Structure 1
Amino acid sequence: MAPIRSILASRAVTTTLVFIACLGLFYITLNTGIDRTDVRETHGGMKPVRHNNPVFRGRPARTTKAIIDQSEKFYDRVLAQRKQWLKENNHGTSLFNPWNDLYWWWYFPASFNCPHDLQRVGPLSDGGKWVCGMSLYEDEPRANCVIYSFGVNTETRFEGEMLDRTNCEIWAYDASVQHMGPESQGRPKVHFKPYFVGDRDYVDESGYQWRTLKSLMTENGHDWIDILKVDIEGSEYKTFNSMMDDFGEVLPFSQLQIELHVKPEHTTFDDFMSWWQRLEGHGLRPFWAEVNLHTAVWYDKPWASEICLINLRGGVKNLLLQEYEH
């Protein structure tokens, strides 16, 4: 036994055994994941909790660009499907009815992925909006975080929650009221003016002042808007056509939350489709859609829908296009 004890006690053998043990642990780690111990507080005090996290290989990191590129490929399929649906439902002939079989909104589905977290802000009912990358506005605050809100009326729970949770300032406009709702009225980061937003600057026959987005941004000294929220009761079509004329290829906002209205006095299907395709041509992609249930229940057709769109242009100004550490 003495020779065996002598051999085991030798430094060379000990080093070899330690090396073999390390190789074994390394092999286990590669095949089953890292065995990590965390400390979790329990009713009995601090207790170690063990986790076995498997390692998955063969898939690249899910970068912002990768998610957007993947969404664009899917969106191309949706565009092809829309074209086919229009053909199958006799678009361009007297037989076409946008409220029959395939309802109006089904031709324009929200089929793009927000590349960040998606959160509802404001009430669960009418007035709440889905915000792409809400945590970016909370966790990555910047001094010039800007929200524009057109058509606020007195429903300002969305604006109030954004003020509570972020460092953003809000510029709000609505000539139908003299002040915002209680969630936003009088707060230091809120700027309200009783203007309507439209396709040109003028004063109408009733004395209401109208402004374009370009004029308002110039007046406020802004070159980019993080969130643009719009509910202007059918005036969105001429307003955004003017906006696309004024700003060219890059619309000056990261995302758009808008209620669209398609009653006969607002637009026709063909005019709406041309307008929608023009938005798509400017890099806007819908990531959320929600039919206004008031119109679905109270009227014969669901002629209003909340649509949320991300802008794929804007470079470094657009927080939603940037890469972040995970």
Structure 2
Amino acid sequence: MKNNKQSKTITTTYNIPTQLSGSVHIALISDVHDRCPDAALSILHQQQPDLILVAGDLMERHDPAVSPWTVEQMDEWQGIPRTRTWFFNIVRKFDGSASSGEQTKRWNKANGYRFLEEAVKIAPVVLGVGNHEWYHTEEDLQFFKDHGVVFLDNRDCELTVKGQKLLIGGMSTRYDLEWLDQFSQKDGVKILICHHPDYYPKYIKDTNRNTFALIVAGHAHGGQWRLCSRGGRKRGIPVFAPGQGLFPRYSYGQYDNMIVSAGVSNTANIPRFGNPCEVVMIQLGGSSSNNK
């Protein structure tokens, strides 16, 4: 693994060996949150990946006036215990986008659209669903279709990239374990987009579902603050991650076959510390390396 700084957003690179006959250069983007995507797009233009995976929370879609889901229902999907709900409610007070679906000065839905519009000019884009995306509008779905974005909401697809066949699935916040069971048993080199890294130990790690060459996640924002961080692999101690609470286990980096991105934006009104935003580049099918 190596890091290259570009402004306040870094590029982190991993090599993941697979059974592919050739290599595929993959960009992992997470947690745009309808913020300005210029730094991420600049890195994508520089890196020129073969495939772009978006691991959820590209958009802010949580207006309670139009959502079929409530905050309580979304918490239940994410496995947030009622005994800890008070703590997460306090955290939400610092999150400038979590309390309402209305646009603010900090985010605008045009940013998510602009990211996709530019990204598809670079490489095919596959989009997963995160916890800030309680729903997608008809306008969103039509935009995905018009721009050739592959949208995976508890479904999978087959893509051929640089002559290499990949099976890619998207496990959403409102997960479907029956679909996951079926997808995990398909033959081929499989990639799972799963916004929540905490779903990995709950539903995948020590089960017969763990047949994936690669799992990509975001959500944790790198732990927001990382204490004693020295950069590179010395990213310090993560303080908090949604879904995991204080001192989370899965917040940034590589864990077995899962790579967790620190994300490309900051939704909280509390600034990051020792924890820059990042674009992740993954060489799939290349030579092996020990990343973490």
| TM range, smaller chain | 0.3 to 0.5
Alignment TM-score, normalising by the size of structure 2: 0.39
Higher percent of residues as helix = 1
Structure with larger RCO (C-alpha < 8 A, sep 6+): 2
